[in-house]
Chains A and B, each alone.
Chain A
Amino acid sequence: MADQATPFVQFSEVQKTYDGEILVVKDLNLDIAEGEFVTMLGPSGSGKTTCLMMLAGFETPTEGRIMLGDRELNNVPPHKRGIGMVFQNYALFPHMTVAENLAFPLEVRKLSKSDTVAKVERALDMVELSAFGNRRPGQLSGGQQQRVALARALVFEPDLVLMDEPLGALDKNLREQMQYEIKHIHEKLGMTVVYVTHDQSEALTMSDRIAVFNDGRIQQLAPPADLYEKPDNAFVAQFIGENNRLLGTVEEDDGSQCTVRVDGHMIKALSVNHDGRGSKTTLSLRPERVTLNPADGSLPNVFDAVVRELIYLGDHIRARVATCGDDEFIVKVPNAHGHLSLAKGTNVRVGWSMEDCRALDA
């Protein structure tokens, strides 16, 4: 991450509406540093793709400014922005060979023939498809098409590359492999990447920072670890990873810690994002941070629970228990040496620390 003071890409107070009635993007402010890999993550309809399209120039912001370096982009047509883009279904030109596809951005930039050939070859080399230059996109597998699309977006050496759910059409294994490849290419070339996806594991794997979108707003902008460990609000906690939600009322609050009444139980939690005493709050707790049958006095929150369901998943066991009035409370029990043998219907005790339990907005 380079100098934060002068962002490379800057959205300031951007709003977008298609029909003049509903704001698809509400007051977006986002700074992206040069060389950064930023992912826009969110459910469909959250406005993330619209943001990308505004950056690429296919949509115009209704309000606000988008800057690239020191250039205001609002009135620059897409072909003059010099931004590489990888599309959801690759959008490789079916009537051109792979090499012709790669040469296209160079030809429209009127590069010399020899330069074009050299650059196309280098780009094909980078994605390990040197032998496929004469094939048509239709003759390639999905993964190969994906690489060609990537090479085409990079061949003219743009400083900024946009990717719109580029791995959405691939199967799981290939998708994971491509995630690493994209990450490595990013590390090698050092361009700025804005990546759109609705797949959180993809976002967590690849990004420097993730902007979680919902309802036209960025809910939280943070590095992957922070996003998972320290969600700012209930939406982010729920959207990223698995999450136990307990709804309650704040009884006591000293600013950093609070006590929340949930179904008659008093739970000690970290004050993050609630409206103070008497307000409703959502407690967020990761399933792997819950300890089964903790030693007495080792944890501030310990409650009785009944095992409702057990799912064996190899490296861990998912136990669904009923506790604190929540029938869907999940506990991940690591399949470690000497782990507890559980049975459906048995009574257990569940406990967790105050730091792992975050009191968020209701």
Chain B
Amino acid sequence: MAQMTETADRILTTADGTPLKQALARATRRNKIRAFILVAPLLAFVLVSFIIPIVDMLARSVDNPEVQAAIPETVALLKDWDGTGLPPEPVFAALAKELSDKSKRSEIGRMGARLNYEDSGFRSLLNKSQRRADKVTSGPYKEGMIAIDADWGKTSVWKTIQLTAPSTTFSYYLNALDRTYDENGNIVMQPEWKQIYVHLFVKTIYVSLGVRIACLLLSYPIAYLLATLPASKGNLLLILVLLPFWTSLLVRTTSWIVLLQTNGVINDTLVWIGIINDANRIEMIYNMTGTIIAMTHILMPFMVLPLYSVMKTISPNYMRAARSLGANPLVAFVRVYMPQTIPGVGAGSILVFILAIGYYITPALVGGQDGQLISNFIAYHMQKSLNWGLAAALGAILLAGVLALYWLYDRIVGVDNMKLG
């Protein structure tokens, strides 16, 4: 033992006196470079298509350049205003000058859109002022501006501009959490009729959990069957599981519409058998039920495959051993088989959950009013309202939520225990 510690203290060298670590590094450098060159294309692709968009999205969620870009002088002067009464005359003068600057029309338009998120009167106020600002060519500018629109005489309007002026803001995040700044810069709840996102996040999580549990309950027996059947039959069944994978997502979703709609196959059959009468057809689509049914179906393979790959490795001898030791089939299954499938359950669950939490097409098509999830609103803000800042903030919160859940999962189950295939 003493000898061993002695050698450990000394720096080990090769025969010609180079330190051993250095020699090793040199010997493996070539392989490392080769390995890096092999992964470089993928690394570049991931960087461009994944990392950069995410960073951009995170930046956009706090980015707030509109007011600054449209009326920089006014903003600079407004900085010193104490927020009581109205700003001093020079501020009005700068505003009148900058609003009448024709070269800044589009910036002012964007500023109007930005301020409209805070208070919906701003766009028309700015449009109106912009059209008439060139008439206010000499002082007193304050009276001139108020003459264009009485709103310029309101302290709250100026406070909002002052508050929205900094080039970064958390107001998108507050908005995404149904909160907002009041005119004094305090964080307050949105008025009740504007509170939708927190409820939507909670609903999305519940739906994802529900889909996850439905997937698990339905997939477990399938995976078990797949894993225990002889190879020839098992492979056929596996193809049946994979078949939906190879079918367009849109086709699968719309086929659910055909099946579930009020005059669809299932309702018609039930009416024909006489279980329900024609007047009381079941509403199974364009609501939450439709969303859950279709999502469960579409996400099932993501549960079946990890489960199958884990179950495939469990030797039938474990069950036999349990039986021979005196356990009836149920006890043997619950106490010996099921614990060994935990890695597959974990992998499938987290996969389905994370996919479900960001699911978009299916709820959009079959969700109706009630079955929309958070991703549908992100898409709405990306495409319709063009409020990218809010879309980015919603997306960032979703991402943070997924990462938090992943961390939690790692703490409870352990990611090392997960087996994806």
Tell me the A residues contacting B by CB distance below 8 Å: 56-58, 77-79, 81-85, 87-89, 91-95, 104-105, 108-109, 152-153, 156, 162
Contacts and interface: CB of A to CB of B under 8 A. Distances in A.
5 contacts: A78-B324, A85-B325, A91-B317, A93-B322, A104-B336
B327 A79 contact: yes
B407 interface: no
Interface in B215-245: none
B311 to A, nearest CB: 14
A152 B320 contact: no
Interface string B313-327: 001011011111111
Contacts of B329: 77, 79
Contacts of A93: 318, 321-322, 336, 339-340
B331 interface: yes
B323 A78 contact: yes
A152 B321 CA distance: 10
A91 B327 contact: no
Given A78-B323, A87-B317, A94 B331 contact: no
A91 to B, nearest CB: 4
A104 B318 CA distance: 12
A88 B317 contact: yes
Nearest to B314: A94
Given A95-B339, A95-B340, A108-B331, A79 B318 contact: no
Contacts of A79: 323-329, 332
A156 B325 contact: yes
**Which applies to chain B's interface (DSSP): helix, strand, loop or mixed?**
helix
Given A94-B340, A104-B335, A108-B331, A152 B317 contact: no
Contact of B320 (A78, A84, A153): A78
A134 B331 CA distance: 23
A81 B324 CA distance: 8
Given A78-B323, A79-B324, A93-B321, 18 more contacts: A57-B323, A77-B323, A79-B323, A79-B326, A79-B329, A81-B324, A87-B317, A88-B317, A91-B320, A92-B321, A93-B318, A93-B322, A93-B336, A104-B335, A108-B326, A108-B327, A108-B328, A153-B325
B410 to A, nearest CB: 19
A105 B326 contact: yes
Question: Which of A93, A105, A109 has the most B CB atoms < 10 Å from its CB?
Answer: A93
Give the contact-size bracket for chain B: 20 to 34
Nearest to A84: B324
Contact of A87 (B320, B328, B342): B320
A66 to B, nearest CB: 15
Contacts of B342: 95
Contacts of B332: 79
B326 A109 contact: yes
Closest 9 CB pairs of A and B: A105-B325, A91-B321, A91-B317, A85-B324, A78-B323, A95-B339, A108-B327, A108-B326, A87-B317
Given A95-B339, A95-B340, A104 B327 contact: yes
A91 B318 contact: yes
B333 to A, nearest CB: 12
A89 B314 CA distance: 12
Contacts of B323: 57-58, 77-79
Contacts of A105: 325-327
A152 B322 CA distance: 11
A91 B316 CA distance: 9
Contacts of A92: 321
A89 B315 contact: yes
Contacts of A77: 323, 328-329
Contacts of A56: 320, 324
Given A91-B315, A108-B327, A152-B325, A58 B336 contact: no
A148 to B, nearest CB: 12
A240 B327 CA distance: 39
B345 to A, nearest CB: 13
Nearest to B340: A95
A56 B324 CA distance: 7
B21 to A, nearest CB: 32
Contacts of B327: 79, 104-105, 108
A20 to B, nearest CB: 15
A83 to B, nearest CB: 6
A96 to B, nearest CB: 8
B320 A58 contact: yes
A83 B324 contact: yes
Contacts of B322: 93, 104
Nearest to A105: B325
A89 B325 contact: no
A297 B285 CA distance: 104
A58 to B, nearest CB: 5
A254 B162 CA distance: 125
Contact of A85 (B318, B321, B331, B339): B321
Contacts of A87: 317, 320-321
Contacts of B321: 85, 87, 91-93
A93 B327 CA distance: 13
A104 B323 CA distance: 11
A109 B326 CA distance: 7
A166 to B, nearest CB: 12
Question: Which of B325, B327, B328 has the most A CB atoms < 10 Å from its CB?
Answer: B325
B79 to A, nearest CB: 64
Question: Which of A56, A91, A153 has the most B CB atoms < 10 Å from its CB?
Answer: A91
A77 B318 CA distance: 16
Contacts of A94: 340
Contacts of B328: 77, 79, 108
Nearest to B335: A104
A83 B317 CA distance: 15
Interface string B134-170: 0000000000000000000000000000000000000
Contacts of B315: 89, 91
Nearest to A109: B326
Contacts of A153: 324-325
A94 B324 CA distance: 17
Interface in B275-323: 315, 317-318, 320-323
B338 to A, nearest CB: 10
A42 B202 CA distance: 65
A108 B325 contact: yes
B49 to A, nearest CB: 40
A152 B317 CA distance: 14
A268 B51 CA distance: 89
Nearest to B327: A108
B326 A82 contact: yes
A109 B336 CA distance: 16
Contacts of A109: 326
A87 B322 CA distance: 11
Nearest to A92: B321
Contacts of B336: 93, 104
A88 B315 CA distance: 11
B417 to A, nearest CB: 11
A151 to B, nearest CB: 12
A248 B210 CA distance: 79
